Amino acid sequence: MSYLFMTELSDTARYMSSASYKERFIAEYAQLAIRTIRLSEVVSAYDKNALDFTPQTPIELLKDQLNAMNDYLEILKKRAKIELIDLPEVTL
């Protein structure tokens, strides 16, 4: 199986129900990475006053969420090293 590139949440869907915990782990990582990239883009656009909408959630809370997501990504990367799981490159 090739997990080299995952760019959309739909790319991960088939792995979420896999019998293999490694495939489920890869899907979890890829989904989180995709969501993190997208939230980062929103926060960055907000900071540049370039959003085409007004978030209902205060930007500081979105930034807190982004920090937590980045922390979680780092934990998953550490686990992947320990468990010898090759993580995909996630690009949008």
CB 39 within 8 A of CB 62: yes
Q: Do residues 7 and 68 lie in contact, with contact meaning Cβ atoms separated by under 8 Å?
A: no
Q: Taking 50 as the threshold, does the pLDDT of residue 22 lie above it?
A: yes
Q: What is the pTM of this model?
A: 0.88
pLDDT for residue 5? 58
Helix 59-82 × helix 21-47 angle, to 10°: 150
8 with 31: CB under 8 angstroms? no
Tokens of residue 55, six digits = 């978030």
Is pLDDT above 60 for 2? Answer: no
pLDDT score of 6: 66
Residue 14: its pLDDT value, please?
83
Distance CA 68, CA 75 (A): 11
CA distances from 8 to 12, 16, 25, 34 (A): 7, 14, 16, 7
| CB contact at 8 A, 31 and 79 | no
What are the tokens at 21?
A: 């915990």
